[in-house]
Amino acid sequence: MIGPFQEADGAVSMRRILATFFSLAAVALGAMAIPNAPGWYVFIPSALCLVGALLLMFFTTWEDVSSIISAIKGKA
């Protein structure tokens, strides 16, 4: 049975685990910054975690897309 943190072949996906971690960290850091926010710059760590999570999800998706494209080229 394949879970959300596994690839199609059953291997554990570190990128998916890190993307989840950075997503949760972005929410936690943003929530901690709200009460003490003297300016917008206190949200930089939260924004960096969010960017990291988006990049990790993009690369996971890009790998899936490239495998689909190579499968189509191989069949043609």
Task: Please give the Cα distance from 43 to 17 (Å, whole number).
Answer: 23
Torsion sign over Cα 51, 55, 56, 60: positive
In this predicted model, what pLDDT tens digit does every residue of 32-75 receive, in sequence order?
A: 888 877 888 888 999 999 998 988 887 766 777 677 678 778 86
| 20, part of any domain | yes
Query: Has residue 54 been placed in a domain?
Result: yes
- The answer as to whether 35 is a domain residue is yes
Our count of domains for the chain comes to: 1
DSSP reduced 3-state for 12: strand
Domain of residue 61, residue span: 14-75
**pLDDT per residue over 19-38, tens digit each?**
899 999 999 988 888 887 78
pTM attached to this predicted model: 0.68
> Is 23 inside any structural domain?
yes
pLDDT of residue 37: 76
